[in-house]
Amino acid sequence: MTALILASTSPYRRELLVRLHLPFDTVDPQVDETPLPGETPLQLATRLAAAKARAGGLGRPDAIVIGSDQVADLDGAALGKPGSHAVALAQVQRMRGKTLHFHTAVAVARGPELVADVATVTVRVRDVSDAAIERYLRLDQPYDCAGSAKVESLGIALLEAVESDDPTALIGLPLIRTCALLRHFGLDPLA
């Protein structure tokens, strides 16, 4: 069987990929995630997913490698992983009462061939109080999530609506698109 590799250290992506019941290994792709000058959030997510898929396959040309990246887009500006309480607080305060787009790109590579797709999830954030934001951050500690929002846990209480055609995209790996890209390389979870 062909080796399948997830080029990610994200526990969320790993948990999602386990759902497909395919054996896989994980590697740290060690990709610089700094945005390029003038790069839109969508372009950033797409570029990073491809870079991770390519980096994860170095030295394993026959492996099928999945790379993914998510960038939150607020009014055309990228919101990354906050890394700290203070940054998360500022992010959520800036997001309240607004609509964001979470671009989750996935790329699958095998040797020199790479295919990719993007799922964009539209999220409407409630106009929540500072006290509610503080409570959410203290309980959920979403410091490793783009846009400081964990929709799979208490972060759902911050939201008015989520619109998506790929329900796992907001968590970090659009599985419908991932399955389609894996099938391109002859790897079907249902085969």
Helix (H) or strand (E) holding 137: helix 130-140
Q: What is the pLDDT of residue 1?
A: 65
Residue 75 among the catalytic residues: no
Q: What is the pLDDT of residue 144?
A: 92
The one-letter amino acid code at 140 reads: D
pLDDT digits (tens, 9 = 90+) for 89-99: 999 999 999 99
Among residues 69, 73, 140, 166, the one annotated as catalytic is 69
Beta strands in 8-112 (DSSP E): 25-27, 64-74, 77-79, 99-110
Q: What is the pLDDT of residue 80?
A: 87
Count CB atoms within 10 A of the CB of residue 27. 19
Q: What is the CA radius of gyration of the chain?
A: 17
What gap in Å lies between CA 105 and CA 117, rounded to an integer? 6
What gap in Å lies between CA 44 and CA 33, rounded to an integer? 8
What gap in Å lies between CA 19 and CA 65, rounded to an integer? 17
25: β partners: 5
Domains of the chain in sequence order: 4-184 (3.90.950.10)
Average pLDDT, the chain: 96
Give me 19's structure tokens.
């759902």
For residues 150 and 182, which has the higher predicted lDDT (pLDDT)?
Answer: 182
Give me 180's structure tokens.
């389609």
Region 117-143: what's the mean pLDDT?
A: 97
Q: What is the pLDDT of residue 2?
A: 80
